[in-house]
Structures are given as structure tokens and as C-alpha cells.
Amino acid sequence: MEIPFVDLKAQYKQIKDEVDPAVLAVMQRGDFILGGAVTEFEREFANYCGVEHCVSVDSGYSALELIVRAYDIGPGDEVITAANTFIATTLAISNAGATPVLVDCDPVTYNLDPSKIEAAITPRTKAIMPVHLYGQPADMDAINAIARKHNLRVFEDAAQAAGARYKGRRAGNLGDAAGFSFYPGKNLGAYGDGGAVTTNDEVIAEKIRLLRNIGQKVKYHHEVKGFNHRLDTMQAAVLRVKLPYLDDWNASRRRAAATYARLLADLPIELPSYADDHIFHLYVIRIAGRDGMMDYLKEKGIASGLHYPIPIHLLPAYAELGHKRGDFPVTEAYADTIVSLPIFPELDDEKVAYVAGAIREYLADHPAHEDLPAAIAAG
């Protein structure tokens, strides 16, 4: 059996009858740039998230960077975010001219640890950017309370959390503004790059509309020095077809995660929490001797991934932050033991059982791998 990490072709087969004519219709209409489907998708995604405004853009990265810029955060300012995130989060901050200030993750949820945020606040701090990592919302009540106390903005990096709910409210409606990614492999993926900002702040939404479209609302009337970060109409047409399926697809991911949890429960592995609010963009386990197991899975035709192998503070790109190994112990320990197993809506129980079976076989042959260090297993 071959099990890919995600199966975009299987999903395309399911929606081909709707998505093909939707894309063709864009070509027939010729409204390729900020066309009808863009406006429609923005309205539909705002409704879905329960927010007033959605401004679509060309990637999740752009969404986050435009949020930082729209709040006039730049050189001399600091934004607190997660040490174990994907680099797009911190690039959005540093490319806007501000400094990302990293905080370690909670050992159970992998999300920004609220108990470590206040120590990172300085007079320069302007915002907190929690990441709903792997599809589970961050501890937003605690984060928003800290933000209120210190008069900070809260920007959700919701790139991995389209459709997730936190205490009944959708991701994208849990802070001042949120950035989503529609990268093809995300839970709501376009057929190319895409992203969106959601917010209830009309002024910010308007500012981002200007910034994404070379600073103009009326053609050639450039009010500010903007960028070209528009979402293609064809991608919006694809996203409009996919959005009504998102809740079902997320439910299928949860089913696959529940099957993994059942089949792996007795093994010396740390499983992700199966919290109600988790939509499992990724299914991340921790295991001692991770690299050997990944090789074994590969031999069995099973893809796996690392999210992420090198924490932000140890990347050459962020040498300027002046960190060293040891600064974020949970993030560092996890980077060496995490592995992401295949998960996607079309991953049925038979395939999950095949992956779980391969892990079981590997551990039976490698008893030395049972000594997941106590500190890591504590979660």
C-alpha cells in the first residue's frame, strides 16, 4: 500500500464536477483579477468565520504581514509569537520591520504557553501572534486577557485552523485580526497559493484592501504605497466550491485521528490530545528514535513529515535574534521527537490501520526506542 502525506487528487475527484465548471466560468467571464468569485468568496468566508470582514490575499504569509503593517507595527516594535511555528509567522513580523519575540510552547497542546508570555513583554511589545498549531486553537482566553492587561493587539495565525472552533467561536474571530492560508495542503486549500485576513475592524479591513491592491481603491488613485497581494479569481472560484465541504472534511480528519489514537494507545508514543476543538491539520506524535521510524515507514510506502525540524531560533535566517540551544527547551526537545503521520479527509480506517501496524512492527523490532525521555513524555 502507498500512503501519501496528503491526497489532493482524491479530493479533486470528489469535487471535479463542481470545480471544473467553476474554473472554466472564470475563463469565460475573463474577470481574472479581483473578479466576482473573489467578492463572493470573501462574503462567504466572513460568514463562515462569523466575522464582519474578510479580505482575500495571495498567501497566508501575505495575510499575516499585511495585518502587522495595517496596525502600523514596524521598526522598533516587537510581536510575541511561538518558537515552534512555521517560519512564515515570524517572516510576516520581521519583513514588516518589527522584531519577533519567541515564547516556548505548552507541552500538551504544542501551542504558545500563556504562562510564559508576560516575561517576554517589553515596552516595545505591540502584539501577540498565537498560532493555532496543527489545527488546534491556542489558549485564546488566557492570551486575550494578557493582551488586554498590557494593551496589546492579538493576531491569530489561523493558517492551519480553517474551520476550528474555540468555545463555540470560529478561528478567525478570536482576536483583533487573523491570517488564513489556502496553500493546497491546508484544510481549506486552493489550487495554488491563497490566503485571507478576517477581522471585525472595518478600518483595518479597508487598509488591508488598499495594501493588497497597490494602494488603490479606484484605479490609478494610489492612496498609499501598497503591494500586489491579490487572490486570483480562479483560486477564489475553487475555494467557493470547497468551503461548503470544509466541516465534513474536518470531521473526517477527526475520525482518522480517533482511529490513530485507538490503534496506537498502548505503544510507547505520545499522542496528540483529542480535544473537541482540534481539526487535525496535522497528526503529530512524539517518539524516541524518530528518524529510524520515519525510514521504516518510508520502506512500507508511508509518507511522514516534520513540523518543524528546526525551531525558529536555531535557523540561520534568525541568527539576528541572538538565541542559542537551550533557550526554548520544550520546543527543542519536541523538534527531535515529533513526527507527523499522514492525515487527510480521505484517509480511511484501513489506511490508518496500515500506518499504525507499521509503527507497531517497528517498535517491536526496536525495543530501545521505548525510552522516550521522561521530560518529553511528561506531556
Ligand X SMILES: *Cc1c(COP(=O)(O)O)cnc(C)c1O
Strands (E), the chain: 53-57, 78-82, 99-103, 125-129, 153-157, 165-166, 169-170, 177-181, 195-199, 283-286, 338-341
Give the span between the Cα atoms of 285 and 293, in whole angstroms: 12
Minimum Å distance from CB 366 to ligand X?
Answer: 31
Minimum Å distance from CB 219 to ligand X?
Answer: 27
Cα distances (Å, whole numbers) of residue 242 to 6, 135, 140 = 16, 18, 27
What are the cell numbers at 175?
A: 482576536
Residue whose CB is less far from ligand X, 100 or 269: 100
Minimum Å distance from CB 91 to ligand X?
Answer: 9
Minimum Å distance from CB 131 to ligand X?
Answer: 5
Minimum Å distance from CB 340 to ligand X?
Answer: 12
Residue whose CB is less far from ligand X, 3 or 88: 88
What are the cell numbers at 257?
A: 485521528
Minimum Å distance from CB 242 to ligand X?
Answer: 15
Residue whose CB is less far from ligand X, 156 or 288: 156
Residue whose CB is less far from ligand X, 249 or 296: 249
Minimum Å distance from CB 141 to ligand X?
Answer: 21
Residue whose CB is less far from ligand X, 239 or 264: 239
Residue whose CB is less far from ligand X, 281 or 369: 281
Residue whose CB is less far from ligand X, 187 or 233: 187
Please say whether the beta carbons of 345 and 185 come within 8 A: no
Residue 241 C-beta-side C-alpha neighbours within 13 Å: 23
Residues 6+ apart with CB under 8 A from 89: 64, 81, 82, 100, 129, 131, 157, 159
Residue whose CB is less far from ligand X, 26 or 88: 88
Residues in touch with ligand X (CB under 6 A): 59-61, 85-86, 88-89, 131, 157, 159-160, 181, 183, 193, 195
Strands (E), 45-129: 53-57, 78-82, 99-103, 125-129
Of all residues in the shown chain, the one whose CB is closest to ligand X is 60
Residue 63 burial (10 A CB sphere; 0-12, 13-18, 19+): buried
Q: What CA dihedral angle connects 293, 299, 302 and 308, to 10 degrees?
A: 40
Minimum Å distance from CB 245 to ligand X?
Answer: 20
Residues 6+ apart with CB under 8 A from 198: 45, 46, 49, 51, 53, 54, 158, 172, 173, 177, 178, 180
What is the amino acid identity at position 110? Y
